[in-house]
Structure 1
Amino acid sequence: MWKEVDVADHPDIAQGVIESFVDEFFDREHTYPNMHRSAMLLTLYSFFEATLAFYCELLRKCLNIRAPMAKSGSAIAYRAWLEKSADVDFSSANQYWTEIDHFRELRNSVVHAYGDIGAKVSLETYIKQSPHISFSEIGLGYCHTMGKSFELAPSFVGHATEVIAVFFEKLTDGMRHLFPLSENDIVVALTHHYELEDQKMCAEIKALGSNPSIADVMRHIL
């Protein structure tokens, strides 16, 4: 049976209720959103690595490259293969690669250290300069860290998606010298690929119009 209690006679109960509401408010405002955005970070970076691997495999087949693919399955290894074995020019994509590499470090800190970035000076500088990330006193969820942890702002996921999309646009530019193809030819090739692999995506690409740019197509795919 519930019994009405005068909180004036039980200040400990009143304090407990207040603390419970404070904890719940903090979870709703910070803990749960940060856990969700951190999960999105993991998903986006995994997608980035998988797409980079797809680029490697596509070039290996198109150019009949005999050099074996990277075995480590990491973005760094894929880049090394693209530059050394496929002669892909990363110069226009470097700016975006640098930020994506910070995404990798953020991802690793989530997976291995509850969001604690450790002593990574360059990553700390990046977080300080980014409007999409801030430092947090706690780690991921309820796991407190001994070092420096971060919290992703609501704008982070959209920003990260945009950076990855532009990176692949610039990476495609770095492949142009390998193929005597116009931009329209490349779009047609991408459309044909999705005709074989993903009918729905193919229809969506065609719906972009009669002459979409590579940027439009890549943004839609991503």
Structure 2
Amino acid sequence: MRQALLAVLLMVVMVLSACSNNSAPASHEEVQEKVQSFYNEMTKFDQMGKSSLDAFNTTLTSFSSGKATDKELEKAIDQFQDTASDIADEVKDVKISKSLPENIQKLLKDSMIAFQSAYSIKEQASKSAASPDVTADEFKDMNQQADVAMLYGISKLNEARVAAGLIEKGSAAEETLSGTDTSTAADTQANTDTKDKNTKSGSGTSVTDVK
């Protein structure tokens, strides 16, 4: 009798486990909705990052021209660090539905990891902005690494959008992405005088720039 009860209990556990691990496949419309929702989340974080970066760069430029004080620079650095850290944490917490096709799940996961890495690097770069132990070239390199990670995340996100049927392969979105030069993107918002410790500035590559 006890063995029979144990056998039944084991079967129940196995069934419940199977149910929890195998979500019903999402319909085509649901796949598109979930991928678009993920894209919207990443775009929201991107806008937050761009706003914070713009404020950070503005203060750095003012500081290098003597229009901002040490305290104002320190405040800008702290705010950018906090924002970058918060975004990295929030990106990590974005849920990827297990009902999505495995290939799309993997693309979104790779994208999420890349975005999280990009914002983590930007956080570290901001910490080094006023450090006497980090040269301007090293600071620039860190921001370019963040750009590369961001571009990789964008490429994986666009692959997921193609797989979900939201955009077409070879569309304007992908052409823009393939034509984006990370060094150019980094230089666009970097101060031209990389030898001056006071002229360090960040770089920015936007999810919304490659829609």
> RCO greater where, 1 or 2, for CA within 8 Å and sep 6 or more?
2
- In the superposition, the TM-score normalised over structure 1's length comes to 0.30
More helix by share: 2
- In the superposition, the TM-score normalised over structure 2's length comes to 0.31
